[in-house]
Structure 1
Amino acid sequence: MTMVLLLAIAIEGRGQDLRFSQWFNSPLTTNPANTGFIPDADYRIGANYRNQWVNIMSVPYKTFSIWGDAQVLRDRIENGWLGVGGVILRDVAGSGNLTSTKVYGSLAYHQMLGYSSLLSAGFNVGWANKRIDPTRLKFPDQFNQATGFFDAGVPTSVFFNSTSTSYMDIQVGVNYAYFPTDKIYLNGGFSVHHINRPKETFFTETNFDNRLSPRYIGFVNASIKMNDMVIINPMAYYTNQATASELVAGLSANYNLSGDGETQLIGGAYYRGGESIIPLIGFQWKNFRMSFTYDVTTSSLSAYNSARGAIEFSLVKHGFYDEYSGNQRQSLCPKF
C-alpha cells in the first residue's frame, strides 16, 4: 500500500514547479511581461501561500512568495512605460525537506497601440537554489519486503555528492491586451521559462540529462462589466514542461457591495483537467484584495487524501503614486 501511495503522489506531482492555483494573483511567476502591466494602478505588491497534501505527507508541500512591481518612465516614453519588479519564492517539499529558494528581478516594456490595445514584452533573471536532507529520505534498497516498510537502519548505496545546488534562471514573455470599451477587457500572454536550461542535480556524474526542460505557459482572460453591480472574469491557463502539462479554466465574478466599488465580494470556480475542482472566494476593500482557494482532488489520488488537495491564500495591494489619484489615472479594464 505504501508503494501504491508513493506512485500516486509521483504521478500527481510531476508538474510541481512552484505552481499556484491562483496564477492570476502571481503575475510575475506566470509571465515576466506582466511586470508593470497593471491595468488599474501604478504599482502593486503581493504575497502567496500554498499548502498541499497536508493529510498524506509527513512534510506537506508548502510554497510561499512575495513580489512587487511598478510602472516607471510614464512621463518619459510616448504612449508607453517600463515595468520593474521582483519576486522571492520558497518551496518545501516532502520528507527530505527538498527546499527551493528563488529570487528574480523583472523588467518589461509596454507600448500602447492606438487607444484600445497594448503590447508588452519582458524578461526576468534570477538565482535559484535547491537543497535536500538525505538523512530524512528512504531509498529502494532500504525497503523490507517482509514488513512492507522502509528500514532507515539499513545502509543505502545512494550517495549524494552535494546536498545543495544553485544556478541562474531566465524567463521571457509577451503579452497583449485589447480594451475596445470601458466594459470589455481581453488579455492573453505566452512565456518560456528556464530558457537557459540550467543544470539541476545533487550528483557529479549521472546517466541523465539534468538540465531543466523549458516550461511553456500560455493564458487568456477577460473582464466583462455586466452592469453596475457585477463584473465577470473568465480565464484559462495552460503549461507544459517535458512530458508534464496542466490546463486550468474557469471564471470568477466581482459583486459591488458598497455601490461605489470600494467594497467587493469575489466568488468563482476553476477546473484543473483530470485533477481537481478549485472553488474561490475573495474580498476586496479599497486597494486590498484577499483571495482563498481550495483544491478539491477529483483524480485517483482522492482515495488517499479524501479529496483534500491544497489550500491557497493570496493578498494583493494596488496603489497610486502621490502625484496621481485614482480618478485621474486611466483604467484599462472595467471597474465600478
Structure 2
Amino acid sequence: MAASAKITDKDFYSFRGIIILLFCLLSSITFSQDIHYSQFNASIQNLNPGQTGLFDGDWRFAGNHRSQWAVIPVPYKTSSIATDTRLKTKLKKDAVALGLIVNADKSGDSKFTTTQIFLSAAYIKKLNSDSTHFLSIAIQPGITSKNFNLSELTFDSQYDGDKYNPALSSQENFNRLRITYFDVGGGLVYLFKKNYRKYVNIGISAFHLTKPKQSFFDNRDIKLDVKTTISGIAEIPITAKIGILPTVMYEKQGKFHETLLGGFGKYYLKPVNGLPTAVSLGAFYRLKDAFILAANMDYRNLNVGLSYDINTSKLIEASNHRGGFEISIIYIIKKIPPFIAKKRVCPIYM
C-alpha cells in the first residue's frame, strides 16, 4: 500500500501564510480590487463622474454597502458615501456640478484595506431649448490609500517545532505596509429625458489615468491599469403604470473585463404629495460569474435598493453558490427649480 502524505502543522501555517500574503500583494494590482457594486447605477460617481449633477433636485446623498462571500471566514466588505449638487452660476443654459465620494473596502485575514476620497466636477450642457438633451463631461481627481496588517498573518518561521508561536518573528520584510497615491478619472454622459418615465442615459468613463504605482516593494513596474467603463440604462413606458428599464455595463482593465446585462420591471403606485412612488424587481447576469436578483423602492425623494449575487463561476465550490448582498440608499433634497424641465413635452407613453 502506498504511503499517504501527511500535512503537518508547520506545513499548514507555511501554506496559509504564503497564500494570504500572495493574495494581499496581488489584490492591489488586480481588477477585482477596484470598488465593485452590482447596483452600479446606485453609485454613480464610481460608475461615471459625468453623472454628477444629472438629477432632478438640489442635493443628492447616496450610501452603498456590499458584503461578498460571507461563507469564507473573513468576507469582503465595501462601503461608499457620496453627495453631489449643481452650483448656482450665471450660466443660463448650462450648469456646473460638484460631487464628493468616499469609498472603503476591507478583505481577508490581513484586513487589506482600500480607502478612497474623490472629488467630481462636471460641466452639463443643454443641447436643445426644451431641456430634453444633455451632454455632461467631468473630471474626478482624488487620493487612494491601501494598507494591510502583517501581524494578522502567520508564516512557517513562526512555528516553534510544536505549535504556532506568535512571539516569533515572521522574517518578512516589506518596504512599507501602506501606499498612498494621487489618481484621476473622467467621464462623458449623454442624457435624453422627456419626463421621469421616458429617458436614455449612456456614458463612457476612464479611471486611473495616472497609472499609479501599486507596489509595497518599491517596484516601479507594477502600475494600476486604466479602467474603461461603458454603461447604459433606459426607461420605456409600457402602460400607464408599468415600465421596463433595460441595463448594460461593460468594464475593461488590463486583461480583465466584465459584462453585466439585465433590467428592471417597474410598477408605479399612487403618487405621494405629487412625487412618484414605485416598486421595481430586476434580474441581471454578470457573464461567467453570477446571477443578480434585485428589488427597488421609490418613495417620494427616497430610493432604496437591495440585491443578491448568486455565484455561477468556478468559485461555487468555495462559495457554495453564495455571492454578495448589497444595499443602496439615495435621498434627494429638492429646494430649487429643477435643471431638467418639469413640463411634459409628450405623453408619458405612446
Q: TM-score, normalised by structure 2?
A: 0.82
Which residue is equivalent to 1:68? 83
CA contact (8 A) 2:195 2:344 kept: no
1:227 aligns with 239
In the alignment, what sits opposite 1:320?
A: 334
Which of 90, 95, 118 aligns to 1:81? It is 95
The alpha carbon displacement at 1:330 in A equals: 5.5
State the secondary structure of the residue aligned to 1:135.
helix
State the SS of the aligned residue for 2:215: coil
User: In the TM superposition, what is the alpha-carbon distance from 1:84 to its structure 2 partner?
Assistant: 0.7
Inter-CA distance 49–190: structure 2 relative to 1 (3 Å threshold): same
Q: Structure 1 CA distance, aligned partners of 2:341 and 2:133?
A: 20
CA distances 1:155-180 after superposition (whole Å, capped 9, x unpaired): 65531111111111111111112246
User: Partner letter of residue 69 of structure 1?
Assistant: D
**Match 2:133 to one of 102, 106, 117:** 117
Structure 1 partner of 2:71: 55
SS at match of 1:258: coil
Rate the CA distance shift 1:120–1:55 in 2: closer, same or farther, 3 A.
same
How far apart, CA to CA, are the structure 2 residues paired with 1:34 and 1:177? Answer: 9
CA deviations 1:199-223 (Å, max 9, x no partner) are: 222223x3x6222111111101111
Equivalent residue for 2:153, pick from 137, 143, 166: 137
Residue matched to 1:161 = 175
In structure 1, C-alpha distance between the alignment counterparts of 2:345 and 2:303, rounded to whole Å: 18
Please say which of residues 151-160 and 189-198 is displaced more in the overlay: 151-160
Paired with 1:107 and 1:332, the residues of 2 have a C-alpha distance of 30
Q: Secondary structure at the residue paired with 1:33?
A: helix
Per the alignment, in what secondary structure is the counterpart of residue 32 of structure 2?
A: coil
| Aligned partners of 1:91 and 1:100 also within 8 Å | yes
1:238 aligns with 2:255: no
Deviation at 1:272, TM superposition (A): 0.4
Unmatched tracts of structure 2, length 5 or more: 1-6
Q: Which residue of 2 aligns with 1:147?
A: none
Aligned match of 2:185: 171
Structure 1 residue 316: Cα displacement? 0.3
SS at match of 2:267: strand
The verdict on how the C-alpha distance between 1:326 and 1:253 changes in structure 2, with shifts beyond 3 A counting, is farther
Does residue 29 in structure 1 map to residue 42 in structure 2?
Answer: no
Q: SS of 1:28's equivalent?
A: helix
Rounded to whole Å, the distance in 1 between the matches of 2:190 and 2:140 is: 18
- Displacement of 1:189: 0.7
For 2:70 and 2:253, the matched residues in 1 are separated by 25
Note if 1:96 corresponds to 2:110.
Answer: yes
One-letter identity of the residue aligned with 2:115: T
Instruction: Read off the aligned partner of 2:254 and give its amino acid letter.
Output: A
C-alpha contact 2:195 2:342 (8 A) present in aligned 1: no
> Does residue 212 of structure 2 align to residue 198 of structure 1?
yes
Any residues of structure 2 matched to 1:259-270 within 5 Å, and which?
Answer: 262-270=276-284
Aligned equivalent of 1:19 = 36
- Identical aligned pairs, as a percentage? 27
Which residue in the other structure is 2:3 paired with? none
Contact 2:126–2:135 (8 Å) recurs in 1 = yes
Report the Cα distance in structure 2 between the residues aligned to 1:218 and 1:142, rounded to whole angstroms.
Answer: 47
User: What SS class does the counterpart of residue 33 from structure 2 fall into?
Assistant: coil
Conserved? CA contact 2:158–2:169, under 8 Å: no
SS at match of 1:15: helix
- Tell me which amino acid in the other structure corresponds to 1:23: F
**How many corresponding residue pairs?**
325
- RMSD between aligned residues: 3.4
Aligned pairs for 1:229-308 within 5 A: 229-258=241-270, 262-308=276-322
